[in-house]
A and B are shown apart, each in its own frame.
Chain A
Amino acid sequence: SQQGEEDPQALSIQEGENATMNCSYKTSINNLQWYRQNSGRGLVHLILIRSNEREKHSGRLRVTLDTSKKSSSLLITASRAADTASYFCAPYGGATNKLIFGTGTLLAVQP
């Protein structure tokens, strides 16, 4: 299965702090993607990291990938109240175009 499992299920931090969430998966992948979902809204693509990359940055986001451990982490630095959302990882194996989402990490950033 290409499904990722996010950890922790919920995370509450203060504005300005960093937030780290993790993803584990079971199969070989071509890339791994992170998405954000604000309550009741659609998913927004955040960042994609390829299987031959170990780390990638985009603004306040930093993603790491360890293919030997089949795990990834998403770090949001200097968090803001607007970062409050659910975050999902989507490992992509290439055999099928569909994305399989886990239950996500619910991040709450307190102002």
Chain B
Amino acid sequence: EPEVTQTPSHQVTQMGQEVILRCVPISNHLYFYWYRQILGQKVEFLVSFYNNEISEKSEIFDDQFSVERPDGSNFTLKIRSTKLEDSAMYFCASWAAGSHEQFFGPGTRLTVL
């Protein structure tokens, strides 16, 4: 069964450093998402991406965040200068048009020290 994969599973970084979280969505899906979940809190929407551009973003997704689909298979989330409060689980999801089910990856745990 096709699945969304994410790497790394755990990323530890120093405050102020740049991180790139990687996702490989399901191959025939066209819509891609990043969500995050701070420990003990809700899963929050960050950004959606379609046709090589951002279709919607939340207030959380400020100038420190960017997304890219560099090669037609990977979908990345970059945080330019990490803050302590960026520590969370980051989930990638993808969606095929015609179905409303979003497929989530297993997540990347980001720890900012």
Contact = CB atoms under 8 A, between A and B. Distances in A.
Q: Are A and B bound to each other?
A: yes
Given A97-B95, A100-B45, A101-B42, A42 B100 contact: no
B31 A97 contact: yes
B60 interface: no
B56 A45 contact: no
B102 A42 contact: no
Interface residues of B, number: 25
A103 B33 contact: no
B45 to A, nearest CB: 4
Interface in A20-40: 30-31, 33, 35, 37, 40
Contacts, number: 53
A28 to B, nearest CB: 15
Interface string A76-88: 0000000000001
Interface residues of A, number: 23
B104 A98 contact: no
B33 A88 contact: no
B91 interface: yes
Nearest to A32: B100
A103 B107 CA distance: 18
A85 B56 CA distance: 29
A107 interface: no
A100 B35 CA distance: 10
A87 to B, nearest CB: 12
A6 B91 CA distance: 21
Nearest to B89: A40
A48 B56 contact: no
Contacts of A92: 100
Interface in A84-110: 88, 92, 96-104
Interface in B57-113: 89, 91, 93, 95, 100-107, 109
